[in-house]
Structure 1
Amino acid sequence: MLHFTAHDGAVTLQSTVNGAADLGTRALVVQCAVLVVSCALLPSLVIRYLGYKWTVAGCMLLYVPFVALQLWPRYETLLPAAAVMGLASGPLWTAKSAYLSASARRWAELAARPAHDAQLRFFAVFYAFYNFALVSGNVLSFLILTAGGTETVPGELCGADFCPSDRGAAANPNFRPPSTRQLITLYGVLVACIACAVLFVAGGLHQLHSDQEDEEYGDMRATLRLVSAAANLHRDPVQLLLVPITIFTGLTQAFFNADFTEAFVSCSWGIAHIGGVVACYGASNCAASVALGWRGRSAGHAALVSAYGGCYCLLLAALFVWAPDASKAAPFFLLAAFWGIADCGILVVNSVCGILFRGREKAAYSNVRLWETVGFLYGYACSPLLCMRVKLVVMAALLAAAVCGYWAAEYLAGRRAANSFWLQEQQKDQQEACPADLQRAALEGRWQKPAPAGNT
């Protein structure tokens, strides 16, 4: 949480504080592009020599240059720092996921609970704290940048009418950067947060003794097999049908970080208020993630993904018609809070891949990360080029393709399940299921008693 307090506090200001010559968004493009290579090649090598604990601590430390060099924003300083951060992100997230997965499996054994239930709960708790970092980072930004008062003028051509070519201090004083003293204070506090995070991990996190499955993360041959399996998985029509919704999840996050903060918040209310609005988004997303982790299974993935699509339909419609006005602060926070709830669908999309590609989860999750990064790249790359209405139309079209693709994937996966019977898999499912799940399945008519082995 401390580490991503610093990261999120810096990233949400890139399109505004570093808006000159589109430096901030280009730095984020570099980070995402390097992240693709990092995720494919570096995690196994780094984890093999450092282990989970020291991989997490070392990669956290490599985020410091990007945050510190916000005080000297130049192409020759910020872009290399963004590349270093992208290189560190791949091993960091892989080590984090492997550590959480191993911990969840061992907790499930001790508590006699289904492994998949433990995985969902562990990741739900993790993402609750991860999302809370968005709150803490932007609260710091808001408090520091508004200290001493702010001056806001009515912004023109904001919201859906905004175009990057209309931006600039001469056209809109709300884009004027904060004072140097405020920036030094802010980024000094954020660097201190990273330093504290590294000390906590180094001094407080146990070094897990990897079992045979976890040791695959340190085997380069296993990584190459995973890359090959992820590429081959695209031959499966179900995987191809899920590509649009995965891209959409990345695109929406890039849109919120770069375009919403610039065109709707900063343009009409000033850079200093970005932190308060984004903190509201993070708080609602954090609360909704916890609720989804504990109660989401009863609703079913199909219903949750459909609700995700419906929420974004409402959001895009609101962004088309809303004219942001600094004298009316409530709509900023209400829209951000609703957006945070809608973005919990990202957890559902990740969970769906684990269900539809059972036995091929690692390859499926690699593709999820790949296509999410493609969405990030497209969103950040197009941020300084396209007008807001064009971006909203593109997002609406991609949303329609995403929801239709998901339903087609569910239908195709259902047809496959109906036309095949795997006794061993069914018995495994029943052994992992808890009694409450079996009772619910029996009431719904989904559970069948396994056939004797001789009648297979």
Structure 2
Amino acid sequence: MLQMQLILHYDETYREVKYSNLGLQNIDSKMLMGINVTPIVALLFFGTKWMLFLAVGIYALFVSTNYWERYYTLVPSAVAIGAAIVPLWTSMSNYITRMAQKYYEYANYKMEHVQEQKRAPRGAYNSYIIGFQTVFYGLFYLCFVCAQFPMFFFLRSYLYDMNHTLYNVQHCGTKSHGILTGFNTTVLHKLPRSSELITVESVLMAVAFLSMLLVLILCGSAYRPTEEIDLRSIGWGNIFQLPFKHMRDYRLRHLFLFFIYSGFEVLFLCTGFTLSYGVCSIGLEHMAYILTSYGLSSAVCSIFTLSMLWLPRQVPLLAGAFVHAVLLIALFFWEPRACNLAEASMLYLVAALWGLGSSLNKTGLSVLLGMLYEDKQRQDFIFTIYHWWQAMAIFVVYLWSGLPMKAKLSILLGTLIAAVLSYLWMEHKVVKLIPHRLPKIPKPRHKMRGYRYLEDENSDETDSEKEDEGKESDSSEGEAPMDQQDQPRHRNRCAYEQALGEEGGDNAG
């Protein structure tokens, strides 16, 4: 829908005929600002299944506003989509990882630790996480193909050919500046009928509602009732703080450059490469074919992530980075000529190879995070910080749209090299068994009649600090006698046991 809007609203004649009295000349810039800026402040997470349902509903809201295009409908819905991006992707990533873990428990139900609901051995989930994430991303990348259906079946017959739209274009590729400098402001040789637009929007609305029903009916709970963390009970302050507190873990700190590059590369392909290389060279009517080749290649090449079942886990990420590095260097020296269909085969090849790198990058990162953070209580916060950094990268790409192409390629290549070096250093630390630091997750504080929890929870406290508690005191507390320090803790513990009875200790765990 957004792609179709951008093309329709770009056409000067379409804007004047349909929206001149509404002042919608710059509506697309405001919508893009809402979609790209809002995610950097969107860290709310209400739960796995219901967040999926709510986020898909917000996308349905965005589609529905096109029946009545106004500032007060389009811009707020774009802001709502921006706010839903990070929670949506956090929910999806966490849900796929939890389904892999639950399937392990289903397939190995006879094992003692599964029957007693104890923690599985380290690495037991890995093969299942690899398989589930590979299938998910293989299906996900097909959305780049489905997104071109409005172009193939509806809008393509209304577009001018490249001899008209590229008449004033002088430079493409590495010598381009901004986005499509000199591109003709009239891209439609006739205006689509309102009834046809309503038909397309109704189809998209039907797909959105079907998605909501599928999530509501087919998606089960991601956790057992005894495993579910009641986020409201740990306080909204902890919900916002815990993702960032996990950055104390050196593994996450060393990966955040890969998170940023993951956001850079997809948006660059969809905007920088597709427009400044593809559309600038072979015309707007071929844009759908470029994105389709990217989507099909990514979907098919996701299967290569299964190599992690036999090869070291570093292989997919490093292979994807190598493919993108070669392509970035090639793009730095490539200047395709405008109105030249001879460049089409090369453009499709680059899009397909970029899809290979993207599939290895995104699938490899999700699998790696699932392997490193098997603790079910931490996956929400880990995937939140992953997709928040991606949202930050999308915001940066939105800001740099006016830069020269060589500057964009240099930023991408520099970020990729730094990400690879940082990741290799992380793997070196892991091999050396250097301990990592994780924040303590506060216990859920459920309200009980006549009682309340008296002990203080400190989410800044790490697991290692918790183990050492009582053995030695901090330097600032060293002057207080140990018996005076232990008395309040003892009283709190007694009140807690009185409130919960014999099961108090188990429920707290």
TM-score range, shorter chain: 0.7 to 0.9
The Cα offsets for residues 300-349 of structure 1, whole Å up to 9 and x where unpaired, read as 22232221221111111222222335412211211111111000212212
Give how far 1:389 is off. Answer: 1.5
In 2, the alpha carbon distance for the partners of 1:216 and 1:229 equals 13
Are the aligned partners of 1:258 and 1:380 in contact in 2 as well (CA < 8 Å)?
no
Are the aligned partners of 1:18 and 1:73 in contact in 2 as well (CA < 8 Å)?
no
**Matching residue's letter, 2:183:** N
In 1, the alpha carbon distance for the partners of 2:243 and 2:415 equals 23
The residue that corresponds to 1:371 in the other structure is: 389
Are the aligned partners of 1:285 and 1:343 in contact in 2 as well (CA < 8 Å)?
yes
Give how far 1:191 is off. Answer: 3.0
**Matching residue's letter, 2:171:** L
The reply to whether residue 386 of structure 1 matches residue 403 of structure 2 is: yes
Q: 5+ residue gaps in structure 1?
A: 1-9, 420-456
The residue that corresponds to 1:305 in the other structure is: 317
Are the aligned partners of 1:160 and 1:388 in contact in 2 as well (CA < 8 Å)?
yes
The residue that corresponds to 1:126 in the other structure is: 136
The reply to whether residue 266 of structure 1 matches residue 270 of structure 2 is: no
**Matching residue's letter, 2:315:** A
In 2, the alpha carbon distance for the partners of 1:123 and 1:266 equals 33
The residue that corresponds to 1:341 in the other structure is: 356
The residue that corresponds to 1:196 in the other structure is: 210
The residue that corresponds to 2:429 in the other structure is: 412
**RMSD between superposed Cα atoms in Å:** 3.3
In 2, the alpha carbon distance for the partners of 1:165 and 1:187 equals 27
Are the aligned partners of 1:69 and 1:77 in contact in 2 as well (CA < 8 Å)?
yes
In 2, the alpha carbon distance for the partners of 1:70 and 1:274 equals 23
Are the aligned partners of 2:259 and 2:386 in contact in 1 as well (CA < 8 Å)?
yes
Give secondary structure in 2 for the equivalent of 1:173.
coil
**Matching residue's letter, 2:260:** I
In 2, the alpha carbon distance for the partners of 1:258 and 1:393 equals 16
Counterpart among 296, 316, 326 of residue 283 in structure 1:
296
Are the aligned partners of 1:59 and 1:92 in contact in 2 as well (CA < 8 Å)?
yes
- Structure 1's 102 and 217: CA in aligned 2 closer, same or farther, altered over 3 A? farther
**Matching residue's letter, 1:299:** L
User: Greater Rg, structure 1 or structure 2?
Assistant: 2
The residue that corresponds to 1:93 in the other structure is: 89
Are the aligned partners of 1:160 and 1:322 in contact in 2 as well (CA < 8 Å)?
yes
Are the aligned partners of 1:12 and 1:258 in contact in 2 as well (CA < 8 Å)?
no
Q: Percent identity?
A: 22
Larger displacement relative to structure 2 (397-406 or 152-161): 152-161
Larger displacement relative to structure 2 (63-72 or 367-376): 63-72
Are the aligned partners of 1:142 and 1:273 in contact in 2 as well (CA < 8 Å)?
no
**Matching residue's letter, 1:158:** C
- Structure 1's 25 and 255: CA in aligned 2 closer, same or farther, altered over 3 A? farther
Counterpart among 298, 314, 321 of residue 326 in structure 2:
314
The residue that corresponds to 2:184 in the other structure is: 173
**Matching residue's letter, 2:412:** M
The residue that corresponds to 2:480 in the other structure is: none
Aligned length: 396
Query: Whose RCO is larger (CA < 8 A, sep 6+)?
Result: 1
- Structure 1's 78 and 266: CA in aligned 2 closer, same or farther, altered over 3 A? farther
Give the TM-score of the pair, scaled to structure 2: 0.68
Give secondary structure in 1 for the equivalent of 2:336.
coil
In 1, the alpha carbon distance for the partners of 2:387 and 2:355 equals 20
The reply to whether residue 157 of structure 1 matches residue 174 of structure 2 is: no
Pairing 1:206-225 to 2, within 5 Å after superposition: 206-208=219-221, 210-212=223-225, 215-216=228-229, 219=232, 221=234, 224-225=237-238
Give how far 1:36 is off. Answer: 3.7
The residue that corresponds to 1:146 in the other structure is: 156
The residue that corresponds to 2:367 in the other structure is: 351
Are the aligned partners of 1:11 and 1:257 in contact in 2 as well (CA < 8 Å)?
no
Give how far 1:209 is off. Answer: 7.8
Q: 5+ residue gaps in structure 2?
A: 12-24, 110-123, 437-509
- Deviating beyond 6 angstroms after TM superposition, the runs of 4 or more aligned structure 1 residues are 71-74
Give secondary structure in 2 for the equivalent of 1:323.
coil
Larger displacement relative to structure 2 (176-185 or 262-271): 176-185
Are the aligned partners of 2:86 and 2:384 in contact in 1 as well (CA < 8 Å)?
no
